[in-house]
Amino acid sequence: MTMEEDFQGGHATSPGTMEVHVDMAGLFNNGLGCGYCFEMWCDGDPELCLPGTITVTAISTPLTLLCRMTGGWCNPPLQHFDMTKPAFLQIARYRAGIVPISLRSPMHEEKRNQVHINGRSYFNLVLITNVGGSGYVHSMSIMGSKRRWQAMSRNWGQNWQNNTYLDGQSLSYQVTASNGKTLTSYNLVPENWQFGQTFDDSQS
């Protein structure tokens, strides 16, 4: 795990825990790992590691320049996280720079999805983030308030698309995760939604 000083994102969610966006390579799996949730802790020199864990969410692959600068640390098939500075400092000291970590897929009591709607009329492109859930999204369906359930197709990574005109309709989503469990979010998106908006669901 390395620290990216130019990216200052991230926010604390509870004592000892931070949910942030990170860059990673091997685990990103050509975009399939987008939105995947990990719990991690520093697992190296006790002089450089700090106690506690953080929770992170994968959003993109590492910068090519950074991969070259760090001697290939973040080049596939290596499993590597390029952390934001605030996240890194939750589990390691600043002077460490690069530290080994251990990680696992966390078990959260709260399971929810977050959807970001892109595209245009007749091309509904939805980025789904399985926040705190079981990880990879295996399949996804959408239902407008004037339509029946329709399967969405994977565009890339966790971007899913549907080519039906759904403008002006409230939208429901059904997401099946990699563990086989399905989460249905009824009327997650109100009828006055606009392209470019993000909606969060706390239903379980």
Over residues 135-165, the pLDDT tens digits come to: 577 889 999 999 999 999 988 777 899 999 9
Query: Is residue 6 over pLDDT 50?
Result: no
What pLDDT shows up at residue 109? 47
Query: Is residue 7 over pLDDT 60?
Result: no
What pLDDT shows up at residue 156? 78
- How many residues in total does the chain contain? 204
Closest CA to 142 of 125, 155, 130, 129: 125
Amino acid at 138: H
For the chain, residues classed under CATH 2.60.40.760 are 114-199
Place domain 2-104 in its CATH homologous superfamily.
RlpA-like domain (2.40.40.10)
What pLDDT shows up at residue 34? 64
Strand, helix or coil for residue 89: helix
For the chain, residues classed under CATH 2.40.40.10 are 2-104
Any idea which residue has 């106690």 for tokens?
51
Question: Average pLDDT of 97-109?
Answer: 73
What is the distance between the alpha carbons of residues 80 and 61, in angstroms, rounded to a whole number? 10
> Model confidence at 8, in pLDDT bands (50, 70, 90)?
very low
The pair of structure tokens assigned to 149 is 């359930």
What tens digit of pLDDT does each residue of 186-195 get? Answer: 999 999 999 9
Query: Is residue 185 over pLDDT 50?
Result: yes
Any idea which residue has 């492109």 for tokens?
125
Q: Tell whether pTM > 0.75.
A: no
What pLDDT shows up at residue 47? 93
Is 11 buried (19+), middle (13-18) or exposed (0-12) by CB count in 10 A?
exposed
The phi, psi pair for 148, rounded to 5°, reads -95, 175
Which position has the higher pLDDT, 163 or 10? Answer: 163
Which position has the higher pLDDT, 161 or 26? Answer: 161
CATH classification of 114-199, choosing from 2.30.30.100, 3.30.428.10, 2.60.40.760, 2.40.160.20? 2.60.40.760
Average pLDDT, the chain: 76
Query: Is residue 176 over pLDDT 90?
Result: no
What tens digit of pLDDT does each residue of 34-92 get? Answer: 666 678 899 989 999 999 888 776 665 555 455 555 556 666 666 777 777 888 898 99
